[in-house]
Amino acid sequence: MNAPDSPASLPDPITGALPLGPASAKALLLNVIEQSLHRLVVFDLDSTLLNNRPRSAAIMREFAVQVNQPMLAMATPEHFPTWSARNSMALLGMADTAIDQILDEHLDFWTPRFFSSLYCQHDVTIAGAVKFVTAIQAAGGIVHYLTGRDENMREGTQASLESLGFPSPAHSDVRLIMKPVASDSDDAYKRNELQKISIAGNLLAAFDNEPTHINNYRSVFPDSLSVHLDTDHSMREVRLLDGIISIKDFDH
Ligand SMILES: [Mg+2]
């Protein structure tokens, strides 16, 4: 991928992403805003508009009490550069053997909390995201949030979006599309939703951090803009398709 003012010298070894530099990213985002009148713009939430690291850090601090590991009580968002709890515990200074003993227990502790409405309140925004999504709406664009979160998390998700200043899903033109059941596959659910968007037509641009998902947008909507957020991903060995643009955030 050609990114002339890219801040990164080398592409991501897994995804191949080489994000645009600030000037190119700004030009791209302003262009989307300018074209958005009556057009649909779709946003993923986690690691696209929202940074979930404070959520995982808060859960780790609670877990520290359960397993009596003061080291883990020091967890901050910076200890969660990836979705690997092992990596986060190592960054907090735990030895591999100690991590092995509590890793399964952490997953059992983390899962029901992370995928709950209550803990959504810990999320913060990806830089520039509120300003960008608000500008799309103000320019007459149609905002849809298409997330892998399930319906169980609707209340907390809506409250979080509203408190952070994003266009509210309570607004008649804004939709929050959620997975019906937590156990459904994220990939199959998003593919299915993309077919519905395809039938409706009108997609200007889609933003998603997960290579599998943004690749699907690119395949189904070759004439729309598919933008990858180079934040983090599920660590699957999936490379971005040609024609997908990467950005680090929404600063513009
Ligand atoms: Mg995501």
What is the CATH classification number for the domain harbouring 153? 3.40.50.1000
In a domain, 1, yes or no: no
Distance 193 CA to ligand 1 centre (A): 15
How many domains, the chain?
A: 2
Q: State residue 2's pLDDT score.
A: 44
45 CA from centroid of ligand 1 (Å): 6
Q: Is residue 227, in this structure, part of any structural domain at all?
A: yes
Which of 209, 206, 196 has its CA nearest to residue 248?
A: 209
Do 65 and 45 have their domain in common? Answer: no
146 & 106 share domain: no
Say yes or no: 231 and 166 in one domain.
yes
Same structural domain, 66 and 183: no
131 and 64 share one domain: no
pLDDT for residue 197:
87
**CA 45, CA 146: separation in Å to the nearest integer?**
7
Centre of ligand 1 to C-alpha 208, Å, is 6
Same domain membership, residue 208 and residue 134? yes
End residue of a domain, out of 79, 101, 120? 120
Distance 128 CA to ligand 1 centre (A): 16
Query: 131 and 91, same structural domain?
Result: no
Rounded-to-integer distance, Cα 145 and Cα 169, Å? 8
Question: How far, in Å, is the centroid of ligand 1 from the Cα of 62?
Answer: 24
Q: Find the helix or strand (DSSP H, E) in which 176 lies.
A: strand 175-179
Q: Decide if 66 is inside a domain.
A: yes
- The pLDDT value recorded for residue 234 is 84
Domain end (from 98, 120, 142): 120
Q: 117 CB contacts (<8 Å, ≥6 apart)?
A: 152, 153, 154, 155, 156, 157, 159
pLDDT value for 112: 96
Domain span at residue 213 reads 22-51+124-247
| Kind of pairing between the strands at 50-51 and 124-125 | antiparallel
Question: Which residues are within 5 Å of ligand 1 (an ion), measured at CB?
Answer: 44, 46-47, 209
Please report which residue ranges of the chain form alpha helices under DSSP H: 22-34, 53-66, 85-91, 96-114, 129-138, 154-164, 186-200, 211-220
Q: Are residues 29 and 91 in the same domain?
A: no
Asked if 223 and 153 sit in the same domain, the reply is yes
Predicted local confidence at residue 18, as pLDDT:
93
Residue 224 lies in a domain: yes
Residue 109 lies in a domain: yes
Å from CA of 210 to ligand 1 middle: 6
Q: How close is the Cα of 124 to the center of ligand 1, in Å?
A: 14
Q: Is-contact 161 59, C-beta < 8 A?
A: no
Cα(234) to ligand 1 centroid in Å equals 9
Q: Of 67, 97, 120, at which residue does a domain stop?
A: 120
Q: Report CA torsion sign: 231, 127, 47, 135.
A: negative
Please give the distance, rounded to the nearest whole angstrom, from the Cα atom of residue 142 to the centre of ligand 1: 20
102 in a structural domain: yes
DSSP 3-state of 3? coil
The pairing of strands 40-43 and 50-51 is unpaired
Centre of ligand 1 from the C-alpha of residue 52, in Å: 10
Q: How much distance in Å is there from the Cα of 42 to the middle of ligand 1?
A: 12
How far, in Å, is the centroid of ligand 1 from the Cα of 209? 5
Tokens of 177: 């599309």
Question: Are 26 and 70 members of one domain?
Answer: no
Indicate the DSSP class of residue 11. -
130 and 218 share one domain:
yes
- Alpha carbon of 146 to ligand 1 centroid (Å): 9
Write out the chain's pLDDT in tens, 252 residues. Answer: 445 566 667 899 899 999 999 999 999 999 999 999 999 999 999 999 999 999 999 999 999 999 999 999 999 999 999 999 999 999 999 999 999 999 999 999 999 999 999 999 999 999 999 999 999 999 999 999 999 999 999 999 999 999 999 999 998 889 999 999 999 999 999 999 998 888 778 999 999 999 999 999 999 999 999 999 999 888 889 999 999 999 999 999
Ligand 1 mean position, distance from CA 15 (Å): 14
- Rounded distance from Cα 44 to ligand 1 centre (Å): 6
Cα 70 to middle of ligand 1, angstroms:
31
Pair (37, 141) in one structural domain: yes
Residue 1 has a pLDDT of 44
